[in-house]
A and B are shown apart, each in its own frame.
Chain A
Amino acid sequence: MRKLLALLLALLFVASAAPLASADQTTVLTVGGWPAGDTAFKAIIPGFEAAHPGVKVELVFMSTADHHQQLATAIAAGSGASDVVMLEQAWVGRFKDGEGFENLLAAPYNAGELKDQFVEYKWNLACSVDKQRMIGLVWDIGPATLFYRRDIFDEVGLPSDPAEVDKLFSTWDGFLQAAEKVYIPGKRWLVPSASYLYEWSWMNRDFYNDKLELNVEKPGALEALNAAITMRQKGLDAQIDDMWSNEANAAFGSGAIACVAAGCWYGGFLKSWIAPDAAGKWGVAHLPAGISTSNWGGSYLAIPSQSPHKDLAWEFIKYACANADSQNAMFQAVDYFPGFTPAWDSDIYSAEDPYFAGQKTRELWVEIAKNTQPTFATLMDQAAEAAMQTAVRSGLNENKTAEEIIADMKSRIENDTRDDYEKMQELMEDAGLL
C-alpha cells in the first residue's frame, strides 16, 4: 500500500512539472554577454518583442571573462551557448578563423549588403584572414580620447578649451610643459605613468602589417618613447603603472591625476564610479602629438552555429546593430558609441554634455571615428600588447635608453607569440596571402 502511495506521489510531482514545459508557443531567444550590455538591450527589447509577437528575449549576463570562458566551452562542447552572443574584440580575433560561429556574409544573412553602413576598420576585424567569413556584426566602437581636468588646467594657467588644449598638445614639448605646470611634488601629476605616452601610440594594436612583420618602427612611436623617457627622468609622472588599479582610480577621482586617455566609453566610467562628483570639471580632446586617431575596444554580436533559432537571432542582431534608433537608444543608455554610421545623423550627437562643462563631446567622437585607419588584426595582438607594456614600463623604471627598450620589446614579443605566430602564418598561407 505504501509503495503504491509513494509511486502516486512521484507521478504527481512529475505531472505538476509538465505544464511548465508544455508547448506554450512562445519562442525564447537567449542573448548572452556582459554588463553593461544588458542595460543596453533592455532599452530595445520591448520594441523587438512588439515587432515579433510570440518571441521572448532572455538575457544571460555575467562578467566579461566568465562569459567568454563559458562561450568557449560551449562552442567546444557543441551546446550550451546562447542564441546571440556578445564578443569582445580580442575574442573575435580568436574565433574568427575557426569553427563554431555562423558566417554572416553567407546566405541567409548576407551581411555584406550592410557593409557600407558600418565603420570600416571595425568591420574588417571580425572577418577571417581571407575575408570570406565574418562572424560578428559591429555593435560599438571606442574612439580614443584624452580626458583632462579643465579646472586644474585653469588653475595653473594652461588653456582649458578643448581646441586650445589640442593645439598645446600637438607636440610632445607642449605636453611636457603642461606636465611641469600641473606637477605638485607628491600631490599632483599630469598622467598616471610616463609609459602611457608610448602606450597610447599602440592603442590601435597595429603591431603587425599584412606580411606579419612587426611594425615597431612606425612613425611617431620613437618620439613618443623619447617623450616618455624625458618625462620620467624629470619625475613628472605619478609612477602608477596601471591606470586601472585602485590607486589610480582613487587618484582620478580626487584630482591627483589630471589627465587620462581611453576609449570614449571611459566617459561613462568617470560619470558613474570614478569621479561622479566632478561634473563640469572634465573635458575631452584628441590624443596628443599627432598620434593617429585610434580606437580602443568595442564589441560585436555573433550567432553560435549550434543555435536552433539562427534566423531569429539574425533578426535581433540586425534590429540592435543595423538600426539607427536602436543604436541610439542603447547609446543613450550606456554610452556605447555606435559603429553604425547612419546612427550619427541624429540630433543627440550635437548635444552638450553637462559633465564635460557643456562640451559637444559626441561631435568629437564622430570625427575621430570617421578618421580612424584600419589595422591588420592578428592572433598575436593581445600578447604583443602585454609584451610592449612590460617592456616600456620596466624600461622606464630601469632608466633604459629608447633603443634598449625597443630591442627588449621586440624580443619579448617574439618570445611570447611564437605559437600564435606559427598558427597565423599557416592560416595566411592556406588563404594564399603569404
Chain B
Amino acid sequence: MTGKVQTRKMLWREIRSNRVAYVYIAPFFILFAIFGLFPILSGLYISFFRWDGVGAMKWKGIDNYARLFTDPMFLLSMKNTLIIGVIAHIPILFGGLILAYILNGKFVKLQNVFKTVYFLPMVTSAVAVTIVFQVLFGYNFGLINYFLSLLGLTPINWLGGAGEYVKAAIIIMFSWKWIGWNMVIYLAGMQGISEDIYEAATIDGASAPQTFFRITLPLLKPIILFTLIQSTIGTVNLFTEPYVLTNSLTGGTNNMGLTMMMYLLNKAPKGNNIYGLASAAAYVITVLVILISLLFQRLLGDRDLTKEVRSR
C-alpha cells in the first residue's frame, strides 16, 4: 500500500519538476481535446439520438444503426466504395511500386523530373481537377470520347447512361492522383535498403527478379503495410472527387458513384440535417477502417525482416 502511494507521490513530483515541458506540449493536447477528442465522443453520443442540429434531441437507442444496415442506399455506398477502393488500388499500389523500382535503378536519367511530374497530381486542387475531368468525360463533346472515336471505338457514356461507367471514371481520376504519392513512398523505402544486401546478393549470383522478389519486397513490407492502411483510410473517406464529378450528393446516375462519405454528408450537414444517422454512419465507417487495418496488420506482420534476411 505504501509502495503505491510512494510511486504516485514520486510521479507528481516528477511532473512538477518538468512542468515547463508540459507547458510546451500542452497546446497540441488542448487543441486535440477540443477539436479532436470532443467531436469523437460527442459524435458517438449523437449517434443514439435523432437531432436536426438546432432543436431538441430525441433518444433512439441503436435505431440509427439498424436503419443504416437496412437502407439500400447505405449498403450500395459500401459496395461502391469497396469496388472503387479495390480496383483503383491495383494501379495505385502496383503501378507505384513499379515506377519506384524503375526510378530507383540508376538507368533512368532526369529522375527528379519524373518524380516531380508523377507527384504533381497530389498537389493540385481536387475540385479544379475534377471539373476538368468532368469536361473530359463528357458524352457528346468530351475529349476522351473524341479520342475513342478517332480509334474507331464507340464513345462511352461515362457519367450518364445506366451509370455503369461512373465508377470507371472515378477510378481513373483516383488512380491518376494517388500513383505519384505511393511511388514516392516506395522510392523512399527502397532507398532505405542498405546497398550491402544487394551487393551480397549479386555476389551470390542472384538475378534481378530474384533480387526484387526475395529482397526488395520483403524489406518493403512495413512500408507496404503503411501505404495499404493509408489507402484504406483514403478510400473510405473518398468524397471530393465523386461529388464534384457527378455533381450531386447522391452519386449521380443510379447512385453508381455514391461513396460512404457522400452518403454520410448527404444525411448531415450538406444534404439534410439528420445528425444522428450521419454520426452513426461515421462510426460504422470508423469501425470498418479499424477492422481492415487490423486485417492488413495481421497479414503483413511486424517482424523485423532485415535481421531475417541477414541471418539467411
Contact of A100 among B54, B67, B163, B270 (CB under 8 A): B54
**B162 part of interface (Cβ distance < 8 Å):** yes
Whether A397 pairs with B52 at a CB distance below 8 angstroms is: no
A246 in contact with B131 (CB, 8 Å)? yes
Q: Does A76 contact B (CB under 8 A)?
A: yes
Residue on B nearest A397 in the bound complex, by CB: B162
| Known contacts A69-B269, A246-B131; is-contact A386 B250 (Cβ 8 Å) | yes
Q: Out of A99, A244, A250, A394, which one reaches B55, CB within 8 Å?
A: A99
CB-based nearest B residue for A394: B254
Contact partners of A38 in chain B: CB under 8 A: none
Please, which residues of chain B bring their CB within 8 A of the CB of A94? 52, 272-273
Tell me whether B54 and A397 are in contact (CB under 8 A). Answer: no
Q: Is B247 an interface residue when CB atoms closer than 8 A count as contact? A: yes
- 0/1 string, B101-142, CB within 8 A of A gives 1: 000000000000000000000000000000100110011111
* B141 and A247 within 8 A (CB): yes
Is B160 an interface residue, CB under 8 A from the partner? Answer: yes
Interface of A is mostly: helix
For A, the interface residue count at a CB cutoff of 8 angstroms equals 38
Interchain CB contact (< 8 A) of B247 among A69, A244, A423: A244
Are B274 and A98 interface neighbours, CB within 8 A? no
Whether B216 is near chain A, meaning CB under 8 Å from some CB there, is no
A-B contact pairs, 12 of them (CB 8 A): A72-B53, A186-B140, A239-B140, A240-B139, A245-B134, A245-B247, A247-B135, A386-B249, A397-B162, A398-B162, A398-B254, A419-B50
B297 CB within 8 Å of chain A: no
8 A Cβ contacts from B264-305 to A: 269-274, 276-277
**C-alpha spacing A250/B247, complex, angstroms:** 16
Tell yes or no: A95 within 8 A of B by CB: yes
* B73 pairs with A416, CB closer than 8 A: yes
Q: Indicate if the CB atoms of A382 and B271 lie closer than 8 Å.
A: yes
Is B161 close to A, CB under 8 A?
Answer: yes
Shortest Cβ-Cβ A-B pairs, 5 listed: A394-B254, A247-B138, A98-B55, A397-B162, A419-B274
Chain B residues, CB < 8 A from A386: 248-250
A82-108 interface code vs B (CB 8 A; 1 in, 0 out): 000000000000110011100000000
Q: A72-B54, A242-B247, A423-B52 are in contact. List 15 more A-B contacts (CB 8 A).
A: A69-B269, A239-B157, A240-B139, A240-B140, A241-B159, A241-B160, A242-B248, A246-B138, A247-B135, A250-B141, A383-B271, A418-B67, A419-B274, A422-B50, A423-B50
Which residue of A186, A241, A393 has the most chain B CB atoms within 10 A of its CB atom? Answer: A241
Contacting residue for B140 out of A242, A247, A390, A398, CB 8 A:
A247
| Shortest distance between the CB of B221 and any CB in chain A (Å) | 44
Query: Which residues of B lie under 8 Å from residue A45 when comparing CB positions?
Result: none
Contact A394–B139 (Cβ < 8 Å): no
**Residue B71 CB within 8 A of the other chain:** yes
Give a binary string over A154-185; 1 marks a CB under 8 Å from any B CB, 0 the rest.
00000000000000000000000000000000
Q: How distant is B111 from chain A, measured CB to nearest CB, in Å?
A: 37
- Known contacts: A75-B54, A419-B277, A423-B52. The answer to whether A397 contacts B253 by CB under 8 A is yes
B72 within 8 Å of A by Cβ? yes
How many of B's residues come within 8 Å of A, CB to CB? 39
Chain A positions 359-417 with a Cβ under 8 Å from a chain B Cβ = 382-383, 386, 390, 393-394, 397-398, 415-416
A190 within 8 A of B: no
A415 touches which of B72, B134, B141, B161 (Cβ 8 Å): B72
Bound-state Cα–Cα, A382 to B266, Å: 11
CB pair A397 B55 closer than 8 Å? no
A99 touches B54 (CB 8 A): yes
Q: Knowing A241-B160, A386-B248 touch, does A246 contact B135 (C-beta < 8 A)? A: yes
B242-262 interface with A by 8 A CB criterion: 247-250, 252-255
**Measured between alpha carbons, how far is A100 from B54 in the docked complex, in Å?**
8
A416 to B50, CA, bound (A): 15
- Is the pair A72, B254 in contact by a Cβ cutoff of 8 Å? no
B159: chain A residues within 8 A (beta carbon)? 241
Contact of B163 among A69, A244, A394 (CB under 8 A): A394
**CB within 8 A of A76: which of B54, B254, B255, B276?**
B54
Most chain-A Cβ atoms within 10 A of its Cβ — which of B159, B160, B276? Answer: B160
Q: Does A420 touch B at the CB level, under 8 Å?
A: yes
A238 at the interface (CB under 8 A from B): yes
* A-contact bits for B159-191, CB 8 A (1 contact / 0 none): 111110000000000000000000000000000
Check if A238 sits within 8 Å of B54, measured CB to CB.
no
Q: A239-B157, A420-B274 are in contact. Are A76 and B53 (CB under 8 A)?
A: yes
Decide yes or no: A415 and B54 within 8 Å by CB, A246-B134, A394-B254, A397-B160 being known contacts. Answer: no
Q: A100–B55 Cα gap in the complex (Å)?
A: 9
Residues of A within 8 A of B138 (CB): 246-247
Give complex CA distance A75, B255 in Å. Answer: 32
Flag whether A6 is at the interface (Cβ < 8 A). Answer: no
- Which A residues are CB-close (under 8 A) to B255? 390
Question: In the complex the two chains form, what is the Cα distance from A416 to B72 in whole Å?
Answer: 9
Select from chain B the residue with minimum beta-carbon distance to A426.
B58
Please, what's the 1-or-0 string for A232-254, where 1 marks a CB less than 8 Å from any CB in chain B?
00000011111011110011000
Q: Please provide the chain A residues from 241 to 287 with a CB less than 8 Å away from any CB of chain B in the complex.
A: 241-242, 244-247, 250-251, 256
A99 CB contacts on chain B under 8 angstroms: 54-55
Asked whether any CB of chain B lies closer than 8 Å to the CB of A65, the reply is: yes
Cross-interface CB contact of B253 among A69, A246, A393, cutoff 8 Å: A393
Residues of A within 8 A of B72 (CB): 415
CA–CA, A250 to B142, complex, Å? 12
Q: List residues of chain B with CB within 8 A of the CB of A393.
A: 160, 253-254
* CA gap between A123 and B72 in the complex, in Å: 37
CA distance A340 to B163 in the complex (A): 44
CB within 8 Å for A397 and B71 given contacts A186-B140, A245-B134, A382-B272: no
Q: Give bound CA distance, A382 to B138, whole Å.
A: 27
